[in-house]
Structure 1
Amino acid sequence: MFTRVCKTVLSVMAAVLWGTASVQAATVTISCGAVGAERQLCEQGTQAWAEKTGNQVKVVSTPNSSTERLSLYQQLLAAQSGDVDVFQIDVIWPGMLADNFIDLSKYSNGAEKEHFQSLVRNDTVDGRLVAMPWFTDAGVLYYRKDLLEKYDQPVPETWAQLTDVAKTVQAGERKAGNDKMWGFVWQGRAYEGLTCDALEWLASYNAGTIVDRDGKVTVDNPQAVKALEMAHSWIDTISPVSVLNYTEEEARGVFQSGNAVFMRNWPYAWSLAQSADSPVKGKVGVVALPKGGEDGRHAGTLGGWQLAVSKYSAHPEVAADLVMYLTSYKEQKRRAIEGSYNPTRPELYKDEEVLAKVPFFGDLFETFKNGVPRPSSATGDKYGRVSNAFYNAVHSVLSGESSAEDALGSLDHQLNRLGRRGW
């Protein structure tokens, strides 16, 4: 009798516990990018969390273009849609989208103290931690080690030197039979990626950052003219005309197929260039982007992505738990090793396993730590319009539609009018 009672009690308890677990389990949706290995790594990380917690995750892809992705997010959030619980957001978006996200400090247990504090400050709006740093970025220069050695050429220190080396190697390879070889590929489409590239050109020439920290428009100056004239000189000489429609993946496709000497891109491209089926595996080096001149500086635009939880989510606590897992030391280490995504935790730049897999993380630590910020803080929710005006002006110079002087003069007038009543 006692045994039967015990079995009955245990059965009831098991049913209650199972029922409780069923009630507590939730399904959350996360938006992930699909550039390079992003989608695969996101699915692996979210699945590991799901197995650990008993919850379920749906991963949805968003446009590769950050400009298009922002537009999609703004539509979803304006409709107060709960379709997406966790948003992957660009480093320049916290100020624009903050009102739509919960305060993650209530769920973080102080984990934000373990990340780059500059990023944490960036993700804190009006005292609220609206996002957690996931991976950081800065533009870097990829180069073909074997080709520079073959033609006895140096790793370039300045843009002028890069132009000369690119011409030399490109000519040599074409003479040898590769008529598809180009000297330099980068992001030239009129979108946020061109803002990043062009900001690097300006900063490398000490030409400012479009709008300074005090909100003053600084883009129309002689050094900025030099920077854009230099970039225009690449079109149809060391860069194909089609570069004017390249995003990150088009540039990577050309470089990784073995048809470019140099490439400007983000660190994610490293692991793909070193993959087993990559034609350039073992032939690639990575260094800081060139200076504008002897008096210039190495400048990589600060990039990177954060994770934020929608305040319209039906499961904010569960979604926040997913964010904390994905931004943890263990998960960021996995992503660094498998996908060369830059951690936002300084300690991982000393991790021997990470450095063995991505050696330039150590050499370029200062580049990643001190990337050139886009003027999103100074211009607030008008940043999107500032960037749009900037990359369209730059694109007009690159395509030959406008001179650098005319484009920058017009842009200066447009930005001053935009900021007349304050940013």
Structure 2
Amino acid sequence: MGRLLVLLVALGLTVGGCRRSSEEAGTGGRTRIVFKFQPLWGDPKPFRELLAQYERANPDVELVTEALPNSSDLAHQFFLTSLQGGATDFDVLVADVVWVPEFARAGWVADLSEDFPPERLRQEFLPGPVDAVVMNGRTYAVPWYVDVGVLYYRTDLVPRAPRTYEELRRFTRDAMAKTPGIQGYVWQGRQYEGLTCNVYEAIWGHGGQSLGADGRVLLETEPAREALAYLHGLIADGLSPQTVTGFGEEESRRVFQEGRAVFMRNWPYAWSEAQAEGSPIRGKVGIAPLPTKDGQPGWGTLGGWQLAVNAHVSPARRKAAARLIAHLTSPEANRVLALHYARNPPRMALYDDPELRAEEPFIAGLKEALVRARPRPVTPYYLLIADVLQSEFSAAVAGLRTPEVALTRAQKQVDHLTGEQPPEEE
């Protein structure tokens, strides 16, 4: 999603004379803090001004900003290596939604509960992002901007967005029968994290949960079996192309945007591409929550980025870092990121903001889907189990294993990696 105009920064962003980081005190006796983040896309001026506002309000702080690679995997590896080694050369860091439990359990990110009480976060922010940053009643990060899986549909080919899986199948069959050569439903079926997002959305849509009451990752369940059978069935019945098992976000988007598919599951970024001048489907696309088994609005997978504080830095730097996070996650900062960088706000009230609704009606219209967004299993072991989930989910979707066999294998491996034990039978 977003306005892909220019790269905000190639290797870093300088604000108010900021220099590259060191562990020395700031000039003039000021406290120096370093903000590590992934570059935004768009005109850099609004974000520079946002950072400059912080410096003007905190004359005792010297702010240094350093950009990370856009690759999530590379950024995670950087933080993993640095924080594990006790690095103190940065203070505020961005964290993917699945990193926070891992970093919190390891003691690498500071407890921010005093500055950002969980109760206040739950009052002001969307529920899914808060669930991803609050663990055991303590706050370890603050949502910066969010994302969610949604359903795209061709308004010229189907009567409305399907509410149930059966409607999705029926609408797809009817549209394919009336439009020879068109494909049905495209989604992310390649063996990678995008597939895991699609599978969890189907699990939730069949009434399942990610975690048990004891925190155990739940895989060997009836909703999970139904979810994998549903996804494999789409391919087996020809409603999704066989090639979907090699699709990521961009492969799905290209097929849909070229007018070659009826439905698509993707992230909100694809909307601006679909509506771009010259797009074959411009003005012919709708967006809706994902369908479910019983017709409730679906639960899309939560995506997005959070801001956290390096637990290794001094108390003075922690305080300055917390003030920076408060500034960058404020309603005004949410508005700036939405209006200038098309980043979805995590604050609930912004979706009723008159300026946002007038200038970015698409973002404002995502409120229902974002309210229902759910994180993947919130566990400090998520990065350890991700490969297992991807491998077994892929095998089931492709028909190499039955859902039952794949989920039994996945549950056994995940229990071993997390140290969990299956519940004893009564």
The TM-score bracket by the shorter chain reads 0.7 to 0.9
Aligned to 2:388: 389
Map 1:230-269 → 2, pairs under 5 A: 230-235=230-235, 237-269=238-270
1:401 aligns with 2:400: yes
Aligned to 1:73: 79
1:332 aligns with 2:339: no
Amino acid at match of 1:59: A
Aligned to 1:58: 66
SS of the aligned residue for 2:349 comes to: helix
Q: Is the 8 A contact 2:339 2:359 kept in 1?
A: yes
Give me the identity figure in percent: 33
* Number of residues of Structure 1 aligned to a counterpart in Structure 2: 383
1:90–1:56 Cα change, 3 Å: closer
Aligned counterpart for 2:38 among listed residues 32, 42, 47:
32
Partners of 1:23 and 1:397 in 2: CA distance:
60
State the 1:316 CA deviation.
Answer: 4.9
Amino acid at match of 2:97: V
Q: Could you tell which deviates more after superposition, 99-108 or 70-79?
A: 99-108
Q: Deviations over 1:218-272 (max 9, x none)?
A: 4323443232122113338343444334333333333334333222122333344
RMSD: 3.5
SS of the aligned residue for 2:36 comes to: strand
Amino acid at match of 1:185: V
State the 1:279 CA deviation.
Answer: 4.2
* TM norm structure 2: 0.76
1:46–1:334 Cα change, 3 Å: closer
SS of the aligned residue for 1:28 comes to: strand
Q: Could you tell which deviates more after superposition, 401-410 or 311-320?
A: 311-320
SS of the aligned residue for 1:234 comes to: helix
Aligned to 2:146: 136
Q: Deviations over 1:145-164 (max 9, x none)?
A: 2333xxxx442122232233
- Structure 2: gaps of 5 or more residues: 1-25, 57-62
Q: Is the 8 A contact 2:388 2:410 kept in 1?
A: yes
Q: Is the 8 A contact 2:289 2:297 kept in 1?
A: no
SS of the aligned residue for 1:384 comes to: helix
Partners of 2:205 and 2:324 in 1: CA distance:
39
State the 1:332 CA deviation.
Answer: 1.2
SS of the aligned residue for 1:343 comes to: coil
Q: Could you tell which deviates more after superposition, 112-121 or 345-354?
A: 112-121
Aligned counterpart for 2:166 among listed residues 160, 163, 172:
160
Aligned to 2:188: 187
Amino acid at match of 2:215: G
Q: Is the 8 A contact 2:128 2:374 kept in 1?
A: no
Amino acid at match of 1:145: T
Amino acid at match of 1:199: Y
Q: Is the 8 A contact 1:213 1:375 kept in 2?
A: no
Aligned counterpart for 1:90 among listed residues 96, 101, 107:
96
1:101 aligns with 2:97: no
Partners of 1:325 and 1:419 in 2: CA distance:
36
Aligned to 1:3: none
State the 1:71 CA deviation.
Answer: 4.0
State the 1:287 CA deviation.
Answer: 0.8
Q: Deviations over 1:310-356 (max 9, x none)?
A: 23569655544443332121221233334543212111111123233
Partners of 1:23 and 1:277 in 2: CA distance:
55
State the 1:133 CA deviation.
Answer: 1.0
Partners of 1:127 and 1:233 in 2: CA distance:
41
1:412–1:277 Cα change, 3 Å: same
Q: Is the 8 A contact 2:415 2:421 kept in 1?
A: no
State the 1:79 CA deviation.
Answer: 2.8
* TM norm structure 1: 0.76
State the 1:60 CA deviation.
Answer: 2.2
Q: Could you tell which deviates more after superposition, 360-369 or 188-197?
A: 360-369
Partners of 2:111 and 2:415 in 1: CA distance:
34
SS of the aligned residue for 1:201 comes to: helix
Aligned to 1:348: 350
Partners of 1:189 and 1:69 in 2: CA distance:
22
Q: Deviations over 1:185-218 (max 9, x none)?
A: 2222323322221011111112x22432323554
- Structure 1: gaps of 5 or more residues: 1-19, 34-38, 176-180
Q: Is the 8 A contact 2:50 2:333 kept in 1?
A: no
1:369–1:109 Cα change, 3 Å: closer
Partners of 1:21 and 1:267 in 2: CA distance:
43
Aligned to 2:299: 299
Name which one, 1 or 2, has greater alpha-carbon Rg. Answer: 1
Map 1:268-287 → 2, pairs under 5 A: 268-276=269-277, 278-287=279-288
Partners of 2:275 and 2:320 in 1: CA distance:
36
Amino acid at match of 2:220: D
SS of the aligned residue for 1:30 comes to: strand
Q: Deviations over 1:263-310 (max 9, x none)?
A: 21223333443344544333221111011256x762222333211132
